[in-house]
Amino acid sequence: MGPTKVLVVDDSIVFREMLVQNLIKDPAIQIVATAGDAFAARDAILAHHPDVMTLDIELPRMNGIEFLRKLMPQYPQRTVVISSLSDKVFDALNAGAVDFVAKPAVSNRAQLEDFVKNDLLVKVKIAAAAQIGNVRKTAMVQEQSHLSVNKSNLIVAIGASTGGTEAILSVVKEFGTDIPGIVAVQHMPPGFTKMYAKRLNDNCRIQVKEAETGDRVMPGRMLIAPGGDRHMRLVKVSGEYRVDIKPGPKVNGHCPSVDVLFDSVAKTAGADAVGIILTGMGGDGAKGLLAMRRAGARTIGQDESTCIVYGMPKVAYDLGAVERQDKLSDIAGRTYTLLNKM
């Protein structure tokens, strides 16, 4: 297997060349072309057939989001977006980008080298393995499910990584306000989780917010762990579920970690929980989901055919943590089915 062929698209000549110089230090990467705008990028895609494109959102003549919307239907392209702190990144993911990295405020060469090595290069390699045919599959309209049990102690826990922003939206938008309290970890850089929570809140019937320590987990509400250097855990205080968010070392290379959340759900909610593991690279969440299942919880894994990256759900399934695998469009309904049996 040869090196990953990469197209670098950025309107800044200086930043573009600095990216190229640092990416080619990895022998597994081959830069096949660079482009300063969407039109040059399109020509480069047709000429060089790159495996992955890195794309700046702010481009002259046509921005990166509009470019993706026009490009993807005809020429599906694994894309990693490089974005400053802006909710536009979620429009890019919705348009078909596989993942994104936060654009650094680079003040010296060492910082850029660190950004490429520890952020961009990792995402490029993950994107190279992504199943982009699964990025946009329009689900059939599902008949609305409802909760038929009246138990206040039920919990839904969700974990996701690459491809997860759109996958979580696909699931959560099907939930009504009767859904038990939801706690979720989506691997994401600091600052973006608050904007992501707002985006979900604006597009779903349930309330969604970035979690803060002490927030109550209640029906019709989802709490998303903040990106950064803190883990989120489920705790019980005076008989009520709440979240506790504290700094800690990375687990499975991530902070917040899905495993940390799922482990806490296993200990705190036991058999009164449903665990859902969605698309993502690596194995974060697999052991925690197994702990949940062993504690009596019901567990769901996204199937390979609808995953952008069938990593986390596969590791969990191979470990015996997943009770059943479902297509993304069926997970919300399955969640209600399992909850109604509790």
The one catalytic residue in 10, 215, 284, 326 is 284
**177 and 103 in a common domain:** no
Mean pLDDT over all residues of the chain?
A: 93
Same structural domain for residues 126 and 176? no
- pLDDT at position 139 is 43
Task: Say if residue 126 is in the same domain as residue 159.
Answer: no
Residue 191 CA to its chain's centroid (Å): 14
| pLDDT at residue 144, rounded to an integer | 58
DSSP class per residue in 247-264: E---BTTBSS-HHHHHHH
- Catalytic residue list contains 284: yes
Question: Which residue range is the domain that position 260 belongs to?
Answer: 155-339
Position 286 confidence tier, pLDDT thresholds 50, 70, 90: very high
Instruction: Give the residue-averaged pLDDT of 217-235.
Output: 96
Q: Average pLDDT, stretch 220-243?
A: 96
Mean pLDDT of 164-181: 96
120 DSSP assignment? I
- 248 and 104 in a common domain: no
Pair (200, 229) in one structural domain: yes
If one counts the domains in the chain, the total is 2
Q: Is residue 148 domain-resident?
A: no
- Annotated catalytic residue: which of 37, 83, 187, 254? 187
In this structure, the answer to whether residues 186 and 92 fall within a common structural domain is: no
CA angle 226, 96, 333 (to 5 degrees): 70
Q: How many angstroms separate the CA atoms of 143 and 56, rounded?
A: 39
Query: Partners of 80 in the beta sheet?
Result: 54, 99
Query: pLDDT higher for 295 or 133?
Result: 295
pLDDT band at 132 (very low <50, low <70, confident <90, very high): confident
Question: CATH number for the domain including 263?
Answer: 3.40.50.180
**Selected catalytic residue, list 83, 145, 161, 257:** 161
Give the pLDDT mean for 57-80: 93
Check residues 150 and 116 and name the one with the higher pLDDT. 116
* Amino acid at the residue 77: Q
The strand ranges marked E within the chain are 4-9, 29-35, 52-56, 79-83, 99-102, 155-160, 181-186, 207-210, 221-224, 230-237, 240-247, 273-277, 298-302, 324-326
Q: Does some domain include residue 149?
A: no
pLDDT of residue 106: 67
74 in the same domain as 194: no
Is 161 considered catalytic here?
yes
Q: Does residue 122 share a domain with residue 230? A: no
CA 177/CA 155 separation, integer angstroms: 14
Is the pLDDT at 153 greater than 60? The verdict is: yes
Claim to verify: residue 190 and residue 267 sit in the same structural domain: yes
- pTM confidence score: 0.92
Whether residue 19 has pLDDT greater than 70:
yes
Distance (Å, rounded) from C-alpha 171 to C-alpha 176? Answer: 11
- The answer to whether residues 30 and 161 belong to one domain is no
Co-location of 77 and 106 in the same domain: yes
Per-residue pLDDT, averaged over 229-243, amounts to 96
Residue 55 β-bridge partners: 9, 81
